Amino acid sequence: MELVKWHGQRVFTLATEANVAAMKKAAALVRDYTKTHFTLQGTGSTVQGVWKPGVGRKRTKTGKIHLAAPPGKPPAIDYGILRASIMSEVEERGMNVEGRVGPDIEHIAAKAGVGTDVEYGLYLELGTRTMKPRPFLRPALRATRHKVIKIFKDANK
């Protein structure tokens, strides 16, 4: 009779470590894509493509003219607060590994020493009753989906 050794805990630990590393890499990929695909204010272009200047509505904010991105395109950069707030985070919860990408109010407030309100990112992403969406997170996830899948496939070979 041959003795078989069980290494289940070691295998579980290695698989978890590989998936945590893959999730960090995938979350960073989506975060970086999001940050580089906002609409450039006044240029009528994004990295994704070109739209005609003047399509979005003009709004005056603190004396500055703002040309909003057209509905369906990523938000136009005004001061860059929302774009700077995009962060990624990975958390291991028991057998689950969770990755999050999006505006992070607490980290910005801690760095700046003052609160910053970037909750408008949710309104831009999903739209409101009076404003059509200017999504930036979901398109980033869609655009990077194949690379994210490859990251996890490579990690679990």
Three-class DSSP labels, the chain: CCCCCCCHHHHHHHHHHHHHHHHHHHHHHHHHHHHHCCEECCCCECCCCECCCCCCCEEEECCEEEECCCCCCCCECCCCHHHHHEEEEEEEECCEEEEEEEECHHHHHHHHCCCCCCCHHHHHHHCCCCCCCCCCHHHHHHHHHHHHHHHHHHHCC
Q: What is the pLDDT of residues 68-97, one digit of tens each?
A: 788 888 988 877 888 888 989 898 887 888
Answer for the pair 33, 143: CB distance below 8 angstroms, yes or no: yes
Calculate ∠ Cα 104-101-111, nearest 5°. Answer: 25
Query: Token pair of 124, please?
Result: 């831009």
pLDDT (tens digit, 9 = 90+) per residue, 2-41? Answer: 787 888 888 888 888 999 999 999 999 999 999 998 877 6
Which band of pLDDT confidence, cut at 50, 70 and 90, is reported for residue 106?
A: low
